[in-house]
């Protein structure tokens, strides 16, 4: 039987199936703590091991080697850990790639590129990663995430969204606001300003439009309020429902579940969605009737996206659905 990703998308490309939460951790202690939380909560969030802000000055090589060791360890049970390397303007980014790709390239969930100032900068970094993969015999495509947090990246966002191996466009609010040199008040780094300020809301909308139109996941910035999970939940809810973000950063353990909960689909539709997709696959994705309604590929695409989101939110799906679509 034909898988929905093959049947429902003429270009052969659909939105990636990835968790709705990405948790940042810099030190070995925090990375291992996050992997322990994956053990507890299940595979509902990714972990970004941070070279950019996580490494002590002068110990960048040691830090990258630590990430290789931890990613290859038994602690990485779900193999859902990526890394953020240094930016294009930093002398250490090539060394990061030289260590991380040969050492953990088969396991890294993704590589994040921060502070790109242009399409050309990101393209240069991706080409270097691709060349390193070829050099060391890694045949898989390592997914790439690009942070949109500079004027140049926002200007080139439509081009950036077309780059090879790209999986996610991240919006980096704090650096974005800082780049306006006081023109945007610092209060807009948190709610409600981060959603209401015209320059910020326009930037977020542009990131989502560029990402989704190119089958890339748009990812929302962090919530600065670390002690109030409800604020994180509300921020994630607005990001998802008002802008179209399908993923969000976490920087504090209590934010993870809040983001996952806010990004969950309407579970009242999930049972019908599963039944419709199973019947559609049995009919080789031709039109079907379900509960007195006609369904075809247009509605199948909606229900497939819904079921995927439910799967990565930890929602229990029918056994047949698990076997056919996610095994």
Residue 146 CA to residue 167 CA, distance in Å, equals 9
Q: Supply the pLDDT for residue 5.
A: 86
Residue 6 lies in a domain: no
Residue 75 lies in a domain: yes
Given a cut of 80, is residue 123 above it in pLDDT? yes
Q: Which residue has the higher pLDDT, 308 or 318?
A: 318
- Segment 137-164 shows an average pLDDT of 97
Beta bridge partners of 148: 171
Q: Supply the pLDDT for residue 11.
A: 62
Per cent of the chain over pLDDT 90 is 88
| Global pTM value | 0.90
Instruction: Report the chain's mean pLDDT, rounded to a whole number.
Output: 95
**Residue range of the domain that includes 314:** 270-326
Same domain assignment for residues 258 and 306: no
pLDDT band for position 10 (cuts 50, 70, 90): low
| Segment 319-325 long-range contacts (CB within 8 Å, at least 24 positions apart) | 320/278, 321/274, 321/277, 321/278, 324/1, 324/3, 324/278, 324/281, 325/3, 325/4, 325/277
Contact 167, 16 (CB under 8 A): yes
Q: Which residue has the higher pLDDT, 35 or 54?
A: 35
Q: Supply the pLDDT for residue 268.
A: 84
Final residue in a domain of this structure, among 209, 244, 263: 263
DSSP state letters, 76-127 = -TT--EEEE---TTSTTHHHHHHHHHHHHTTT-S-EEE----SHHHHHHHHH
Q: Supply the pLDDT for residue 327.
A: 87
Give every CB contact of residue 157 below 8 A, 6+ residues apart in sequence. Answer: 148, 169, 206, 207, 210
pLDDT band for position 74 (cuts 50, 70, 90): very high
For the record, the structure tokens of 133 come out as: 């993969």
Best mean pLDDT range from 5-14, 127-136, 264-273 = 127-136
- Segment 59-78 shows an average pLDDT of 97
Same domain assignment for residues 297 and 152: no
Final residue in a domain of this structure, among 209, 237, 263: 263
Same domain assignment for residues 249 and 277: no
- Segment 201-223 shows an average pLDDT of 97
Same domain assignment for residues 31 and 91: yes
CATH of the domain at 191: 3.20.20.60
Tell me the CA distances in angstroms from 264 to 130, 259, 305, 313, one per residue in order: 34, 9, 12, 6
Task: Give the model confidence (pLDDT) of 230-289 as tens digits.
Answer: 999 999 999 999 999 999 999 999 999 999 999 887 778 999 999 999 999 999 999 999
Same domain assignment for residues 290 and 253: no
Total domains in the chain come to: 2
Same domain assignment for residues 279 and 163: no
pLDDT band for position 14 (cuts 50, 70, 90): confident
Same domain assignment for residues 289 and 254: no
Helix (H) or strand (E) holding 71: helix 60-71
Contact 266, 238 (CB under 8 A): no
Residue 58 lies in a domain: yes
């Amino acid at each position: 039987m034909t898988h929905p990703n093959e049947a429902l998308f003429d270009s052969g490309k659909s939105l990636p199936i990835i968790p709705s939460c990405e948790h940042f951790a810099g030190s070995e202690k925090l990375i291992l703590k996050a992997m322990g939380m994956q053990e507890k909560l299940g595979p509902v969030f990714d972990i970004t091991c941070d070279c950019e802000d996580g490494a002590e000055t002068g110990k960048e090589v040691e830090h990258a080697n630590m990430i290789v060791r931890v990613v290859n360890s038994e602690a990485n049970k779900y193999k859902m850990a990526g890394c953020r390397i240094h930016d294009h303007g930093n002398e250490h980014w090539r060394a990061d790639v030289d260590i991380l790709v040969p050492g953990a390239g088969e396991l890294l969930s993704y590589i994040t590129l921060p502070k790109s100032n242009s399409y050309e900068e990101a393209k240069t970094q991706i080409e270097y990663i691709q060349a390193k993969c070829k050099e060391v015999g890694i045949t898989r495509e390592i997914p790439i995430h690009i942070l949109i947090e500079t004027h140049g990246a926002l200007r080139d966002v439509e081009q950036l969204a077309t780059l090879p191996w790209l999986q996610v466009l991240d919006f980096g609010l704090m650096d974005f606001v800082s780049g306006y040199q006081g023109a945007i008040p610092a209060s807009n780094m948190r709610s409600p300003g981060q959603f209401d300020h015209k320059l910020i809301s326009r930037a977020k909308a542009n990131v989502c439009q560029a990402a989704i139109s190119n089958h890339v996941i748009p990812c929302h910035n962090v919530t600065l309020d670390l002690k109030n999970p409800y604020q994180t939940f509300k921020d994630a809810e607005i990001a998802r429902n008002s802008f179209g973000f399908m993923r969000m950063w976490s920087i504090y353990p209590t934010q993870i579940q809040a983001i996952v909960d806010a990004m969950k689909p309407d579970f009242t539709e999930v049972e019908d969605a599963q039944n419709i997709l199973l019947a559609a696959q049995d009919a080789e994705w031709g039109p079907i009737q379900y509960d007195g309604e006609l369904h075809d590929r247009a509605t199948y695409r909606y229900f497939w996206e819904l079921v995927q989101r439910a799967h990565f939110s930890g929602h229990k799906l029918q056994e047949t659905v698990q076997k056919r679509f996610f095994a």
